[in-house]
Structure 1
């Protein structure tokens, strides 16, 4: 009998690299129905599309009051996107449900058919956005309750690295297996040859707080001989910020903004560049412990690294000689770090990425996912 798998993600899966890879693995084990914003991923057999304007948290007047009064049980299914998702599901039954991020857990446990539940925790859920006051006061306690209420009942749990896994075990008594944000090995790529200028690149979400402005300002401080290209995914709920960012790019003589690139196409698109740049201030524990998609994109693209300091990325950069760790997060900090690099050093960083590209690919992560699914099917 064919295994019926439901994958829930309150994102647009087609532009969510981690979930997109997950769906491809799921499809090898059964018929996958995706429930998310946006269109059907290619590997899914069926898709239920949540209207993109609906928030995945209870951001309604009634929902906010219930959050403030700590009436978490009554608000767990009250987010507009969750209500829409529940209606889309109707009484459909599944054998396995994959809940991407803790906010999908209440809905996962409502799915008919007594399914096995696998929660993939992309980060440390209780403090995802605690640098925002409303999140810290209203949402963080709710997310902590969701984790405490539902995670111990899940049949499997995964997260992105050992540091965050340890936090889930210490606070909620849940052992998470590790599935990094690594991507498929790209043996056809090799370090690009040197050019007349140092070509900087950044890819990721155009989200407030990502410190993109500092990277743009840094390349202007560096002056002639340096360029910056940005490949950015526009946020669903940050139109005003996007307009500000476009204006900032247009004012920079050395920066170009490009349309978003499909996750599978990123390594080849980034390959002609020299240095992947990212410097995220530590607004939350997730920033301090990050191991983001772009780290693995840059490895497969055979780029050198200019990264702001973070526990997990520092370790991998230092162990493998991949680039420089910037002690601060300002434009001046970034410019100083890049200005001090020689052509030979940059070439060495790119060769180091080439040496570790297979080891830092998704092979080991896919093995973990396959084993989880074999367990859940059995």
Structure 2
């Protein structure tokens, strides 16, 4: 009989690439995987090799959302047969921790970010303190954990004395695409939340003739960004494509000439972030123009895959984009793709989970 693991996350599971890859790896190891997420108005029908379930909640944001989600998740975990639990991020950890204690089964924690250090919490000290208190109470008690980059792992080691493994959020290594690249297409993929630098991206389009900016994703800033594009008179140059399935997203990325990552160092969560879009760009052979964040800068210095932003002004960035578009063949992605892929990272993941195949 296969060992059953319940994986939980608060987002819509259809677009979470990291959780999907983890579930695939766990299944290939021999686990029976059940993934719990949240059903939203735009949730797509899923066809996965592992079991997926989504709960419909009364609240969609704020304290009541987190309370309702964790209460319902706790009941699900408590009364579902399982041998192991995997919690994704701090907003699922309370329910998982309590259920693991009640049932006496192991818990593994995947920290996708420095949750209490997110930009949304910088000016909300009361909410930030609540998340920090939860983290301070539970994390030192977690025996098995991993995260997305070395900076976050070091942060938690310094703060709580825990040794997190590092499993980076990179794509599978696959043959290069034959998709035709447009020398005048810029792509952004990811969330539309404060600190992503998307205002800067839209403003730079005023200084780029014949270029098109494709923005793929969703978030709280979507309406404001569309208004900004109209205000700047560049709405004909900026295309908002919304959320896309993995395969559709990949096709757009492969056709783009330059991928952008303009995150601002607002708080340690962004400063230490290593966004998966950076690796998606790399595996699409798409040169990147990126912010000088700690982890991102390390990748850029190690591989010849693009440029760091020289000056954060619309005019300067537009000039840099134009220069890059004239030298696309000067970038080399072979080494980066060979080293930064899920086939390699999944070996670290196996080191975390394989002992449970015998123990639980």
Alignment TM class, shorter chain as reference: 0.7 to 0.9
Change (3 A) 1:144 1:376: farther
* Structure 1, unpaired ranges of 5+: 61-77
1:242 lines up with 2:228 in the alignment: no
Measured in 1, the distance between the counterparts of 2:354 and 2:36 equals: 22
- The equivalent of 1:204 in structure 2 is 190
Alignment of 1:101-250 (within 5 A): 101-111=89-99, 113-129=103-119, 132-134=122-124, 137-189=125-177, 192=180, 195=182, 197-222=183-208, 224-232=209-217, 234-235=218-219, 238=220, 241-249=221-229
1:291 lines up with 2:286 in the alignment: no
Which structure has more relative contact order (CA 8 Å, sep 6+)? It is 2
TM-score, normalisation: structure 1: 0.84
Measured in 2, the distance between the counterparts of 1:50 and 1:23 equals: 22
Aligned length: 347
* Structure 2, unpaired ranges of 5+: none
Measured in 2, the distance between the counterparts of 1:42 and 1:258 equals: 24
Check whether the contact 1:164–1:289 (CA below 8 A) recurs between aligned residues: yes
- The equivalent of 1:9 in structure 2 is 9
- The equivalent of 1:268 in structure 2 is 251
Check whether the contact 1:161–1:178 (CA below 8 A) recurs between aligned residues: yes
Q: Which moved more, 1:122-131 or 1:365-374?
A: 122-131
TM-score, normalisation: structure 2: 0.88
Q: Which moved more, 1:40-49 or 1:323-332?
A: 40-49
Q: Return the offset for 1:368.
A: 1.2
Q: Return the offset for 1:42.
A: 1.5
- The equivalent of 1:332 in structure 2 is 315
Q: Return the offset for 1:41.
A: 6.5
Measured in 2, the distance between the counterparts of 1:48 and 1:190 equals: 36
Change (3 A) 1:219 1:48: closer
Q: Return the offset for 1:221.
A: 1.3
Measured in 2, the distance between the counterparts of 1:339 and 1:327 equals: 14
Measured in 1, the distance between the counterparts of 2:56 and 2:126 equals: 24
Q: Return the offset for 1:90.
A: 5.0
Q: Return the offset for 1:264.
A: 4.2
Check whether the contact 2:305–2:333 (CA below 8 A) recurs between aligned residues: yes
Measured in 2, the distance between the counterparts of 1:317 and 1:335 equals: 20
Query: Which residue of 304, 316, 320 maps to 2:303?
Result: 320
Q: Return the offset for 1:356.
A: 2.3
Following TM superposition, where does structure 1 have runs of at least 4 consecutive aligned residues deviating by more than 6 angstroms? none
